[in-house]
Structure 1
Amino acid sequence: MTTPSRDPAAREAAGRAARDRIAPGAHADFSPAADRPDPVALLTAQETGRVPELLPIRHQRMAASPLAFYRGAAVLMAADLAAAPSTGLTSRLCGDAHLFNFGVYASPERRLVFDLNDFDETHPGPFEWDVKRLVASLALAGRENGFKRRQRAAVVLAAAERYRAAIREFAAMRELDVWYARADIDELRERLGDGLGRRRSDRIARAGAKARTRDSLQAYHRLTAVTDAGRRIVADPPLVVPIGDLLPGVARKVLEDQIRELLAGYRDSLADDRRHLFDKFEFVDLARKVVGVGSVGTRCWIVLLTGRDDQDPLLLQVKEAGPSVLAGISGAEPAPDWGSNGRRVVSGQRILQAASDIFLGWHTVEGFDGETRDFYVRQLRDWKGSAAVSEMDPAGMTAYARLCGWTLARAHARGGDRLAIAAYLGKSAKFEQAMVPFAEAYADRTEADHAAFAAGLTG
């Protein structure tokens, strides 16, 4: 990714030049390319190398609704966006910035913050790709909740307008101020005050309190039990399968040794103080875990470690990292040489998030299931929480959309050239107005793709 010039005028000029290539209002258009790949074939190709017995779970989850399908079909939208005109204004992207990939979690300072929380597809690319991924998800969520078209338009408009306004605010800020900006939930409630309304303010408070209970200790008591061999992860097949249930003796030992090797290598990706902390924990058990929608079928493990005693747990999620759906198509090549997709995910998360998990790291293992596989590691749960999207009314989703728009702008201000993006978007409302018809058109496309996908499963 090209380093921005230190000359603010030159950076703003680059943004204005991009307006000559594609006007902000031109983003309203979406028509599938004449040679658009078959969506089912593209999704099937993405499953190569995944765990075969888990793929029916992926298919079932994606078939549940157009919105669920959209969550698992980032590869389709990436192909569609790559075939359309682009601003060429590159940022580090989330790569899959739909509304479910935002949420709350604990910062290292033990504050509850709202941010992007999924970076499997992170990659450099045109900034508008993330915005379009967000607004199309909002349109689909509005449809699923029974919103009228004008209500969905208000939600989409709110997200895109807040993105544009926030990017312009960040463009005027100093580098350190941008880097330190974050959406602290408690501060957010205080700052917005009466503008939230009592009911919505109380709802945020309750959600925050609930998130604070979702920590390693809570997960420990929910996911483990005392056995004759000591504390172990309990089975909940097919979603959680302990290694002892998954493989017989010799194969189990091989896999357990590979996970131990992975953790030893992962340790080297941590800063010195984090290594010191990690060394205080000992390996106890592991299990295979099914996570997400689009990720189902990739190798994912939960690892139980304990510190001082068995009431001092650490639960880590070890997740396979494959190539980003944006790799090779984003127009941002040559991409940085991360060395592994695990490091790509960690790098993107550290750049785009205001505060990242202290145990975030990566490693590559040779001979894992007969292949060289990249992994990244993070805590399984640390005050994590997400919005109850299906329960949102139009006003609630509009408020949530604004928060997501601000958060995405903050991420792009860290990961791209905020001055160029701000100059491109300008002072008018043309960009956010264009997002409304785009989001509806792409929601139509997603519903058609979902129907084809579901028919293929039952046909």
Structure 2
Amino acid sequence: MLKYISAIAFILILILVFASPVQAATPRSTWVENEIYQYNHPFASQLPQELATKMQKMTVSPFAFYRGTAHIFYRDMHTLPNSGFVNSSTSAIWLEGDMHLQNLGGMRDSNDNNVFDTTDFDEAYLGPYVWDLRRMAVSILLTAKENGLSSSDAQDILRNFLDAYLNKMSDFKGTNDELSYRLESSNTNGVVKDLIQKASNNSRSSLLSNYTQLNKSNNRVFQTTSELQPVSNSTYSDIAGAMSSYITSIPSNKRYNDSYYTLKDIRLKLGSGTGNLGKYRYYLLIEGPSLAADDDRILEMKQEGSSAVAIAVPGLLPTSVYGNQEGSRVTIAMKAMLSNTDPLVGYTTVSSITFMLHEKSPYQVDFDYTLLTTKSKFMDAMGYVGKVVAKNHAISDKDYDAAIIPVSVDKEVTDIVSGNKAAFKDEIVNFAVDYATQVEYDHRSFVDAYNQGVTLY
């Protein structure tokens, strides 16, 4: 069945291309209020305080709103015409799904390489490659404006991002270089190099001291804070009972001894991120490689629902690929788009809720776009971001699993854009300019509704 994905995808894209387009950027207050309510209301009964935090965070700026409303973006992708640079081979590739500047960061991979890469795959799904580019492009324009850069400078920065993406895809074409490609301190500069070095200077002991403490019996347990809350006995028992299926989800060649996964403590983690606020997120303290108290590991356990991308192309990724387990979908995507993936990544189900688990790494630091205070700093950083997105797309094609993506995405993208780079960049830039304006309208509508006490979840 999977070999027919591309053909089905192309038909879906043709439908999208000839769909009635949404009007150019315009206020749509009632529609925005309804979309936000419909998306968030299903979580209102489980963590209403987290949804209140989410709504407050989204009032801060258009970019903060954009981070929290990927579902609106993909509702629009369902109706807006698609790119003229998409064909059957490029209409169903692995997408990160929520490409924006704060889903990137410095990290250490499982081979101890300190790198700059993508940090979040909750919305990963199949779709046209341009959707990742569009979403990042809008993010670039919104954050550049927030940082005080002019519109013309922001568009130059965006074009540099697109050039870097296309050039790196062209480099990958006809080679296997993407399989070993990484951005390290040796081939980066500026804010990105500083970020990689900052992440590499972190330590496990500092992470453990931030979140845990030794009790009277000299056993390590979590601290209790406003963001780390104890769970009920029944929740603790349910999560403990789901650990065996989590361990089984890890490939046998990546699996440690059972004692490594011994559960020592659990906390409900509050206040993290924006888009996922309202979903359950737990920190799990496990034994790690020895009985010593200084090498314990922290797992982040995130509730996963269906990808927002699926709003635009429902069913494009067959549920058989991921066993109808959304945590498995995220796990597969992470392995597809990252090299030397965290060996603790896996998934489980607790009380019919699907979760993805991975290590809360001491060596991960989120990208801080507020440091991009000049055009040159922003240009430099977005060049590296373009390379990361290209690597994501190139490494996750037939190189990862030809049953899901049967083509060489780097070849297909390079060929379809070849000779038309200027037109391609113009198309993405024009989209991003219009859509960034739409986000600003939508944010204003949201803030007005929030201040008027409209029920938003």
Provide the C-alpha distance between the structure 1 equivalents of 2:258 and 2:342, rounded to a whole number of angstroms: 13
The amino acid of 2:339's aligned partner reads A
Any conservation in 2 of the 1:94–1:121 contact (CA below 8 Å)?
Answer: yes
Matching residue of 1:247: none
Matching residue of 2:448: 455
Question: 301, 309, 330: which is aligned to 1:345?
Answer: 330
Shift of 1:153: 0.7
Question: Does 2:269 align with 1:269?
Answer: no
The superposition leaves residues 188-237 of structure 1 with CA deviations (integer Å, 9 ceiling, x where unpaired) of: 14xxxxxx4xxx3xx55543332124444321111112334643212221
Provide the C-alpha distance between the structure 1 equivalents of 2:326 and 2:30, rounded to a whole number of angstroms: 25
Distance 1:31 1:222, change over 3 A: same
Matching residue of 2:239: 259
Provide the C-alpha distance between the structure 1 equivalents of 2:382 and 2:447, rounded to a whole number of angstroms: 29
Question: 368, 375, 393: which is aligned to 2:355?
Answer: 375
Provide the C-alpha distance between the structure 2 equivalents of 1:35 and 1:64, rounded to a whole number of angstroms: 19
The superposition leaves residues 7-48 of structure 1 with CA deviations (integer Å, 9 ceiling, x where unpaired) of: xxx99xx99xx99x97xxxxxx98369999812211221213
Q: Point out the more displaced range, 448-457 or 329-338.
A: 329-338
Shift of 1:343: 0.2
Matching residue of 1:429: 422
Matching residue of 2:304: 321
Question: Does 2:208 align with 1:212?
Answer: no
Report matched runs for 1:57-76 at 5 Å: 57-76=53-72
The amino acid of 1:91's aligned partner reads I
In structure 1, the gaps of 5 or more residues are: 23-28, 190-195, 244-251
Question: Does 2:408 align with 1:409?
Answer: no
Any conservation in 1 of the 2:58–2:65 contact (CA below 8 Å)?
Answer: yes
Matching residue of 2:291: 308
Provide the C-alpha distance between the structure 1 equivalents of 2:27 and 2:141, rounded to a whole number of angstroms: 24
Across the two proteins, how many residue pairs are aligned to each other?
418
Question: 376, 383, 406: which is aligned to 1:395?
Answer: 376
Question: 95, 98, 108: which is aligned to 1:96?
Answer: 98
Any conservation in 2 of the 1:216–1:380 contact (CA below 8 Å)?
Answer: no
Indicate the SS of the match to 2:80.
coil
The amino acid of 2:413's aligned partner reads I
Any conservation in 1 of the 2:27–2:445 contact (CA below 8 Å)?
Answer: no
Shift of 1:453: 1.0
Matching residue of 1:146: 148
Distance 1:215 1:258, change over 3 A: farther
Question: 411, 434, 444: which is aligned to 1:419?
Answer: 411
Shift of 1:361: 0.5
Indicate the SS of the match to 2:273.
coil
Provide the C-alpha distance between the structure 1 equivalents of 2:450 and 2:358, rounded to a whole number of angstroms: 34
Shift of 1:113: 1.4
Question: Does 2:109 align with 1:107?
Answer: yes
The superposition leaves residues 274-327 of structure 1 with CA deviations (integer Å, 9 ceiling, x where unpaired) of: 332453342211111122101111000001123322122111001101110112
Any conservation in 1 of the 2:107–2:196 contact (CA below 8 Å)?
Answer: no
Distance 1:30 1:122, change over 3 A: farther
Indicate the SS of the match to 1:377.
strand
In structure 2, the gaps of 5 or more residues are: 398-408, 453-457
The amino acid of 1:181's aligned partner reads Y
Indicate the SS of the match to 1:410.
helix
Q: Point out the more displaced range, 82-91 or 52-61.
A: 82-91
The amino acid of 1:421's aligned partner reads V
TM-score, normalised to structure 2, is 0.84
Provide the C-alpha distance between the structure 2 equivalents of 1:33 and 1:71, rounded to a whole number of angstroms: 20
Matching residue of 2:137: 135
Distance 1:334 1:359, change over 3 A: closer
Any conservation in 1 of the 2:98–2:132 contact (CA below 8 Å)?
Answer: yes
The amino acid of 2:38's aligned partner reads A
Shift of 1:332: 6.3
Shift of 1:394: 1.4
Distance 1:131 1:375, change over 3 A: same
The superposition leaves residues 344-363 of structure 1 with CA deviations (integer Å, 9 ceiling, x where unpaired) of: 00001110112311100011
Provide the C-alpha distance between the structure 2 equivalents of 1:268 and 1:118, rounded to a whole number of angstroms: 23
Give the alignment's Cα RMSD to 1 decimal. 2.9
What is the aligned-residue identity percentage? 21
Shift of 1:329: 2.3
Indicate the SS of the match to 1:378.
strand
The amino acid of 2:111's aligned partner reads E
Provide the C-alpha distance between the structure 1 equivalents of 2:186 and 2:258, rounded to a whole number of angstroms: 31
Provide the C-alpha distance between the structure 2 equivalents of 1:418 and 1:402, rounded to a whole number of angstroms: 17
Provide the C-alpha distance between the structure 2 equivalents of 1:204 and 1:140, rounded to a whole number of angstroms: 19
Any conservation in 1 of the 2:125–2:317 contact (CA below 8 Å)?
Answer: no
Any conservation in 1 of the 2:102–2:368 contact (CA below 8 Å)?
Answer: no
The superposition leaves residues 51-70 of structure 1 with CA deviations (integer Å, 9 ceiling, x where unpaired) of: 22211111111111111111
Question: Does 2:443 align with 1:442?
Answer: no
Provide the C-alpha distance between the structure 2 equivalents of 1:390 and 1:268, rounded to a whole number of angstroms: 41
Distance 1:205 1:116, change over 3 A: closer
Shift of 1:80: 0.9
Shift of 1:186: 2.7
Provide the C-alpha distance between the structure 2 equivalents of 1:326 and 1:33, rounded to a whole number of angstroms: 23
